Amino acid sequence: MFNQNFAKKGGIPIEIYEQKPEARILDATAANRAFWRTKESNHILWIDIEPELEIPPDMVLDCTNTGFPDESVMMLIFDPPHWWGDKTGENYFSCRNKEEKQKFLDKYNMGSAGCAYYGTDKYQSKRELLNFIHRSQKEFNRILYPDGVLWLNWSEVKLELDRIMPFFRDWDEMLRLPIGSKFQTLSKYQNWWVMLMKKDRPDPQMMLTNWQSSDTTTTEEIE
């Protein structure tokens, strides 16, 4: 995803390039990486605007304004908050770390639980949340490779997916996966993974033709 030329241009902090030069995937709303089987990888850059998470992000960063260079991300994961109006630490989904989680559990005399954190305390109205989604997808369209992929995760807790998709009018929906599992915390609500690609991406055949016409490498040079 990030190379040294981009880092030298100042678009990406050089320490991030040095830390994860092999990163190819950007999780733009990492939270505590709840759905990731791996919590650490040199191939994934986890960012989040929230600094007080149990698993700190690689970068504390607003995904609506990353500062990354144009077309610098190969794959992007976007799992925004699925509802709004909570207060930090007031319920299971708004506890950012173990300390806040323990206070919540002690308050209601409950047992232990992990720190999923859904960011439901970030936006106090539907309008605020939808504005965040709109600004985020606009930034993603800028930083994603022409033929890159955006994966959107959405749970229909308060809004159906079809209420969200109009914000992605500059994208082609390639795949929609309905997810239902007893292992999901929000299993009584329909959850979706949606694969998106930019509408203005180049034609694959044209890309191949341009590559073939510009490639002057000879067999002798390869050997």
Least confident of 21-25, 47-51, 133-137: 21-25
What is the layout of strands, in order, in the sheet containing 25-27? Answer: 59-60, 44-48, 25-27, 73-78, 144-155, 191-198, 171-179
**Alpha helices (runs of H) in 87-179, residue ranges in sequence order:** 98-107, 126-143, 161-164
Confidence of residue 30 (pLDDT cuts 50, 70, 90): very high
3-state SS, residue 2? coil
Percent of the chain whose predicted confidence (pLDDT) is above 90 = 48
Residues 190, 179: Cα–Cα separation, whole Å: 7
Q: What pTM was computed for the model?
A: 0.78
24: left (phi over 0), alpha (psi -120 to 50) or beta: alpha
195-222 average pLDDT score? 60
Taken in order of first residue, the domains within the chain and their CATH numbers are: 4-222 (3.40.50.150)
pLDDT tens digit string along 93-136?
A: 777 777 777 776 776 666 666 667 788 888 899 999 999 999 99
